[in-house]
A = this chain, B = another copy of it.
Amino acid sequence: MFDIDLQSRVPIYEQLYKKTIELIIKGVLSENDQLPSVRALAKELGVNPNTVAKAYQELERSKVIYSLSGRGSFISRISDMEIKEYALIDFDESVREALKAGVTPDELKNRIDAVTEKERSAP
């Protein structure tokens, strides 16, 4: 479920952070669902417990999860818009870069369709 890439240059804790949000969006994780414990997940993934703990802390800071002391971590109620905001900040930036590079808005729109198509067939 939380498959991560240890060889990636993206920090593991960041991958876990994004993966969790992705699982919520996909409906795999829902409001009030309990997350695996730090130690359990760390063991399963073969990573340092501190790394998992850091991801959970970041998720809690962003109000994506909440934790009850001694009981564990749970998915918060989170509006879709909040999640989307994150992705869109990066998106806007990449649009700006592409416009600067001389790509036209229409080319970008075609590109969206191409990527959407590709993701649908091989997600």
Contacts and interface: CB of A to CB of B under 8 A. Distances in A.
- State the oligomeric state as a number of copies: 4
A119 B91 contact: no
Contact of A101 (B21, B99, B103): B21
Nearest to A12: B69
A40 interface: no
B100 A26 contact: yes
A108 B103 contact: no
Interface string A77-88: 000100110111
A92 to B, nearest CB: 5
Interface in A72-110: 80, 83-84, 86-88, 90-103, 105, 107-109
Contacts of A22: 100-101
Nearest to A95: B115
A48 B71 CA distance: 10
A23 B31 CA distance: 34
Contact of A113 (B66, B70, B105): B105
Interface in A1-29: 6-7, 9, 11-12, 18, 21-22, 25-26
Interface string A29-49: 000000000000000000010
